[in-house]
Structure 1
C-alpha cells in the first residue's frame, strides 16, 4: 500500500502541474503522465482489494483459536489503512475536479464574458459543449485569445470526464472496502459471542463441579456419622 500512497501523492503533484502549465507541450506531457499514473494506481488498488479478500478467505478456513483471531486483527488494520488511502485519493480527485472546472469557466468567459452560469455549465459539461463554444467563438471579437481558450476548454472537458470516471471507480471501491470491514466486524462479533458462551459454560461447569464436590463431602460426612 506504500506504493499506492506514493502514487496518490504523485498524482496530486501532476494535478498542480497540469493546472499551472501555460504551454500546450508541458500540459500534454502532464496529462500523459497523469493517465499513466492513474492507470497504474487503479491496478494497484484492485490488486490490494483482491489480496485482502484472499487473506480473508484463507483466515476463514483456519480453526478457531488465537492464531485466527490475530490474523483477523491484522487484516482489519490493513482494511482500515486501505480505506484511508482511498479516501485520500478521492479528496485529491475532488479538489482537482473543482479547480479544473473553475479554470475551464474562466477560459470560456474569455470568449463570452456575458455568458450566463447555465451557458458556462453547458459549454464545459455537455457533450455538445464544443459546438456551443465554437458558436461563442464566432461571435467574439477576441479571436486570438478565444482560440487558445477553446483548446484549453476542450482539454479541461476531457479531464473532467476522466475525473468523473475515476471518482465513480473509487466510490465503488470504497463501498467494497466498507463491505469487507462490516463482514469482518460480524465475524469478530461471532467470535466474541462464542468466547462469551464458552466463558459462561465454563463458569457454569465450575459451579456445577463445586456443587457436586460439596454434595459429595456432605454425603461422606453423613456416612461417617
Structure 2
C-alpha cells in the first residue's frame, strides 16, 4: 500500500501563517531595541536590577528567534511539498527569510557593538586600579577571563583599596556581560546556518518526490502499452479461433457433400445394373 502524500496548506491558511510570522518579526525588532537600551543602562549604572532586566529580555528574544525560525522552516517545507510552480508560497517564504535575516543581522551588530563598548569600559576601569599599566597590559586585561578568581586576585594585589575592590567587581560584572553577548552571537550564527540549511535539506526530498512521480508516470504509460498489446492479441486470437471454426465447418460440409455424392452415385449404378 502506498502512503498518502503529506497534506499541504491552502494558500489562504499559508498566508495567515505568514502574517503571524511577520508579526513576530516586528516584535523581534522591538526586543532588539529594548536590548540596546538595557545594555546602555548597564554601562551607565550597573546594578542587579539592570542586569536582571537585560537577561530577561535576552531570554525572551532567544525564545522568539527560535519560534520564528521554526515557523519559516514549516512554511518552507509546505511550499516545497506544494511543488515548484507555487510561486505565491515560494515568494512569501523568501520575503520572510530576508526580513528575519535582516533583523538577526541588526541584532548581531548591536551585540558586537556593545561587546566592544564593555571591553572599553573594562580597560578604563582597569586603568583606575593600575594607572601605570601599559597599553599592552590594559589590552590584556580587557580580554582576560575575569570570571577566574586567580585573575581577579592577581589584579587586586596591585591595589588593595576599597575603590580598587569595587572597580574590579564592576570589571568582573562587565566580563559576565561579555560572555552573555558571546553566547548570543553563537546562537545567532547557528540561526543563520539553520536558515541556510533549510533549502539544502528540502531540495533532495523534492527531487526524490519528483523522480518518484516521473517513474510512476513512466510505469503507468508502459503498463498501458502492454495492456493495449494484450487486448490486440486477444482480439486476434478470438478472430483466429472463429476463422478456424469456420474452416472446420466448411471442411465438414465439403466432406459431407463428397460422401453424399459418392453414396448417391453408387446407389444409382447399382439400380441401373
TM-score, scaled relative to structure 2? 0.60
Give the Å deviation of 1:129.
Answer: 4.9
* Alignment of structure 1 residues 87-126 onto 2, 5 Å: 87-124=105-142, 125-126=144-145
Q: 1:8 aligns with which of 32, 47, 55?
A: 32
Paired position in structure 1 for 2:62: 42
Paired position in structure 1 for 2:155: 136
Paired position in structure 2 for 1:54: 74
Give the Å deviation of 1:58.
Answer: 1.1
- Whichever of the two has the greater Rg, that structure is 2
1:167 aligned onto 2:185: yes
Give the Å deviation of 1:162.
Answer: 0.9
Structure 2: unaligned runs, 5 residues or longer: 1-24, 208-273
Q: Note the alpha carbon deviations across 1:20-63, whole angstroms, 9 max, x for none.
A: 11xx5xx2111101111111111111111111111111111224
Counterpart Cα distance in 2 of 1:32 and 1:73: 40
Counterpart Cα distance in 2 of 1:36 and 1:150: 25
CA root-mean-square deviation: 2.4
* Alignment of structure 1 residues 185-196 onto 2, 5 Å: none
Further displaced range: 130-139 or 169-178: 130-139
Further displaced range: 106-115 or 47-56: 106-115
Counterpart Cα distance in 2 of 1:128 and 1:3: 34
Q: 1:75 aligns with which of 87, 93, 98?
A: 93
Counterpart Cα distance in 1 of 2:84 and 2:136: 61
Give the Å deviation of 1:181.
Answer: 6.3
Residue 104 to residue 64, structure 1, CA distance change in 2 (3 Å): closer
TM-score, scaled relative to structure 1? 0.72
Give the Å deviation of 1:140.
Answer: 2.0
Conserved 8 A contact 2:79-2:90:
yes
Paired position in structure 2 for 1:219: none
Give the Å deviation of 1:178.
Answer: 3.3
Aligned residue-pair number? 180
Residue 133 to residue 109, structure 1, CA distance change in 2 (3 Å): farther
Structure 1: unaligned runs, 5 residues or longer: 191-225
Conserved 8 A contact 2:145-2:151:
no
